[in-house]
Copies of this chain bind each other. A is one copy, B any other.
Amino acid sequence: MKKSKEFAEALTSSFAPAAYVLNETERRPYEIDWRKLVDQPAEAVLFPSTTQEVSDMVKLCQKHKLAIVPQGGRTGLVAGAVPVQGIPQVIINTRRLNQIRNIDAINNTVELESGVILQTAQEAATAIDRTFPLSLASEGSCQIGGTIATNAGGIHVLSYGSMREQVLGLEVVLPDGRIWNGLRRLRKENIGMDIKQLFIGSEGTMGIITAAAIRLLPRPKKTLTMLAAVKAPDFALETFVRIQNLCGADLTSCEYFTAEGLKLLIDHIPQTALPFTDNHPAYVLLEVMSLDSSADLFARLEPVLETLLADKVVNDMVVAQSENQRLALWKLREGISEAEKAAGGALKHDIAVPISVIPSFIEAVSSEIMRIAPGYKLNVFGHLGDGNLHVNIVPPEGVSLSDLYSGSNPITSCVEKNAMKAGGTFSAEHGIGQLRVSSLMDYHDSVELDLMRTIKKAIDPSWMINPGKVLSHANQTHARHR
């Protein structure tokens, strides 16, 4: 196309060769989402190395009327950072914006560019005896910008909150190419509108985050990790409630998985260490931390653990006696996604409900799925303490997952509707991307959707930044999946 050619010429004359790729072979890895569900072409993939370059590139795209797809580490699960069907698009990937600009142990802040890998940020914090307050499975490859744009959750939300709570300031390139410098690192500022909130969790639909100031936390000095075996979800909930009542924010993680998840691990992950000699229906992984290096966490927890066993809330329990045992317990929880993938995948869901209704929600969904989709198995796991469960449905042998994913299906409806009915959400941490646009339209009322559209139009009137994500637009068609 002539238009593409003009754009390519403008690119090559304005930017260094390291700042873009145009040919298909080099573009391909950036066009496909992590789950390999979406695969649409881009005109080019750009790699700016400075905020000014991002601004220049956005202006160039606007000039050539090309939509922009902001992209980080490509670990998202809802295809929010890859092109959609049917629009000429350019990917702006932030991996070369990878400087830690400043780290400060007095103010407990780090200022870093959006392409910094999460693990790199964690290591920088550790080096000055601080905690970077976000930890999740993809931390080895996800980028800070992506964690902010998706308001990432992970395993420490219970204690530290989601990414939104960690962000003190942002630098953003707006859809018209202007740079907003909101890189403040204050704990308090009330000036009538907290502009950074617009960009956090917006999945790249409001602008491109180029840098952020993030709070750091003191490093815990003691850790106690336990795995409790329980009969059913209500016992898992009771275990969580009693331990949180005792420990408050010192209870940094409370994760849930079931016998089905454990079976997937045993079948597909070599050397899975079985936690108990008996089989149990469900498991709760709990981790308690203390900043007090003289704290005796086991002594603090012993009475409540004894009561949990005496009251038969917990069937059996192991407490990690070493860092290796701790990692082995975590492997059980963190290996489930991988095991599920190795087993052929599942229909994934990411709901949250008020924790008190977790047992009745699981019960309702289980019996309904059994009725409408016999032979399908539930693999429920996730962040029990946040009410956030991944209610994944494993199809029987012979059923193709891509068939399930093509168009809406009664299984997903069952899971999502039950979550909404319970006062919950169909999207707890993964976001909307292009895979959940229809759900958002289905489940949220017209006032809320209208507010969202009004803000989007105000910030991005020509709908150029990440079109087809989050909100549908009159001029675009989008499929649930390719």
- A residues sitting closer than 8 Å to B (CB atoms) are 104, 106-107, 109, 150-151, 153, 157-158, 161-162, 164-165, 174, 178-182, 184-195, 197-198, 200-203, 205, 217-218, 220, 241, 244-250, 291-292, 294, 300, 352-356, 383, 386-388, 423-425, 427-432, 440, 444-445, 447-448, 451-452, 454-459, 469-471
Contacts and interface: CB of A to CB of B under 8 A. Distances in A.
18 contacts: A104-B356, A107-B387, A161-B165, A178-B447, A181-B445, A184-B425, A186-B354, A188-B388, A188-B425, A190-B428, A192-B202, A192-B205, A192-B432, A193-B198, A195-B448, A197-B197, A217-B248, A292-B300
A292 B303 CA distance: 12
Contacts of A354: 104, 107, 109, 185-186
A203 B194 CA distance: 11
Nearest to A303: B294
Given A191-B427, A201-B190, A180 B451 contact: yes
A447 B195 CA distance: 11
Nearest to A300: B292
A113 to B, nearest CB: 18
Contacts of A109: 354
A427 B352 contact: no
A454 B459 contact: yes
A218 B157 CA distance: 16
A353 B244 CA distance: 34
Contacts of A193: 198, 201-202, 451-452, 455-456, 470
Counting chain B CB atoms within 10 Å of each CB, the highest count among A180, A248, A429 belongs to A248
Given A188-B428, A192-B203, 10 more contacts: A106-B356, A185-B423, A186-B354, A186-B425, A189-B428, A190-B427, A191-B425, A193-B456, A292-B300, A455-B458
Tell me how many chains of this kind the complex includes: 2
Contacts of A182: 448
A184 to B, nearest CB: 7
Nearest to A178: B447
A251 to B, nearest CB: 10
Nearest to A131: B248
Contact of A387 (B187, B423, B452): B187
B291 A246 contact: yes
Contacts of A185: 354, 423
Nearest to A350: B190
A187 B217 contact: no
Contacts of A458: 454-455, 457-458
Contacts of A164: 194
B427 A189 contact: yes
Nearest to A459: B454
Nearest to A78: B190
A193 B448 CA distance: 10
A241 B106 contact: yes
Contacts of A356: 104, 106-107
B248 A218 contact: yes
A429 B292 contact: no
Contacts of A459: 451, 454-455
Contacts of A430: 190
B451 A190 contact: no
A428 B188 CA distance: 5
A447 B192 contact: no
A188 B244 CA distance: 18
B427 A388 contact: no
A240 to B, nearest CB: 10
Counting chain B CB atoms within 10 Å of each CB, the highest count among A178, A189, A191, A454 belongs to A191
B248 A190 contact: no
A244 B105 CA distance: 12
A197 B457 CA distance: 18
Nearest to A457: B458
Given A201-B193, A458-B458, A188 B250 contact: no
Contacts of A104: 354, 356
Nearest to A238: B106
Contacts of A429: 188, 190
A383 to B, nearest CB: 8
Contacts of A197: 194, 197-198
A13 B237 CA distance: 53
Contacts of A352: 186-189
A155 to B, nearest CB: 12
Nearest to A107: B354
A444 B186 CA distance: 15
